Amino acid sequence: MAARGTAGPAGRMLIARGLQQLRHRANLTQTQMAKAAGVSVGTVNRYLDWQDRARLRVPTIRSLAMACGATAEEREALEQLVRTQEDGWWVGHPGLPGWMDPLLSFEDYAEYEHIYANNLVPGLLQTRRYATALHQAQDPRADTEEIERKIAARMQRQTILDRSPGLHLWVVLDEAVLRRRPSDDDTVMAEQIEHLMTIAQRPNIDIQVLPFHAGHSAGSGGHYLILGRDDVREPADAMGIVYLELHRRGVYLDDPGDVQAYKLMFDYARSKAADTTVSQKLLADARTEFA
């Protein structure tokens, strides 16, 4: 396992996975692991669960690793992950709800992100005016300052697309996304489609349109994101997460079976969607419908 500093839940996932592998190799139950390390079972559970937000401590991770017979290299890698844990810019940001913290942490660590969108342009691809219109429509009572904080956070989140090495973003847009206006001002949608056409020229971004005549995609139930990192040399550093955004909360799926099921759905969606060249034409056609 590589000793890589990673903010938030992504780093905690690496730590939890490393401990799980050590525990299984040592053939220890959580109770046995806790007894050998001189800690409570509750402490073991916290360190094995990436969604727990309790602070991690180097002496505890050292005791847990030693209880499982970790080598000096394995123990140091885990300790280094704990030492380099830090909050990303998004933690406590006034424009972001706490339940989005894991999403931004996983985006920061991911090599690729696959998105299926059937209603709205994904946040990573929204223009400022489109995002503003959405927030105004979704919460008419929100004041200008509150909306601006949310927009500022969204724009900062988009800088992940400029990272080097870059995040590879692959998006399948249902054609309905291109026809659903966020406001009565057609220029907002025209500008948004032009942005999609432009940003799709980047080498790390693929946009496909799923036309109406292609029928329905596999039964996904709606908008979803798949965040991944493949590392054949260090499997413990790999990552696979599905994110489902609901009203006022987000759901994270990390069970390998769930992740694989969504990967198959995404593969099915992009196989039915127009290729990137034809999708550019579909975007251009949709653009002509707005002033």
Question: Which class for 21: exposed (0-12), middle (13-18), buried (19 or more C-beta within 10 A)?
Answer: middle
Q: d(Cα 7, Cα 212) in Å, to the nearest integer?
A: 40
What are the strands of the beta sheet with 112-117, ordered from one edge?
205-210, 168-174, 112-117, 224-229, 239-246, 249-253
β partners of residue 209: 173
Per-residue pLDDT, 221: 67
The confidence band for 166, taking pLDDT boundaries of 50, 70 and 90, is: confident
CB atoms within 10 A of CB 71: 10
- Residues 260, 264, 269, 275: is their CA dihedral positive or negative? positive
The confidence band for 38, taking pLDDT boundaries of 50, 70 and 90, is: very high
Q: d(Cα 157, Cα 103) in Å, to the nearest integer?
A: 10
The confidence band for 35, taking pLDDT boundaries of 50, 70 and 90, is: very high
Contact 263, 145 (CB under 8 A): no
As a whole number, mean pLDDT of residues 239-244 equals 94
The confidence band for 237, taking pLDDT boundaries of 50, 70 and 90, is: confident
Per-residue pLDDT, 5: 45
Token pair in block for residue 86: 């830090």
Whether 2 shows a pLDDT value over 60: the answer reads: no
As a whole number, mean pLDDT of residues 199-205 equals 96
As a whole number, mean pLDDT of residues 64-79 equals 94
pTM for the complete prediction?
0.88
Name the DSSP class of 209: E
Token pair in block for residue 291: 């002033």
Across the chain, what does the average pLDDT equal? 90
Contact 75, 191 (CB under 8 A): no
For residue 231, give the amino acid letter.
Answer: D
The DSSP result for 19-46, as a single string, is HHHHHHHHT--HHHHHHHHTS-HHHHHH
| Tens digits of residue pLDDT in 101-142 | 999 999 999 999 999 999 999 999 999 999 999 999 888 888
Token pair in block for residue 186: 């057609």
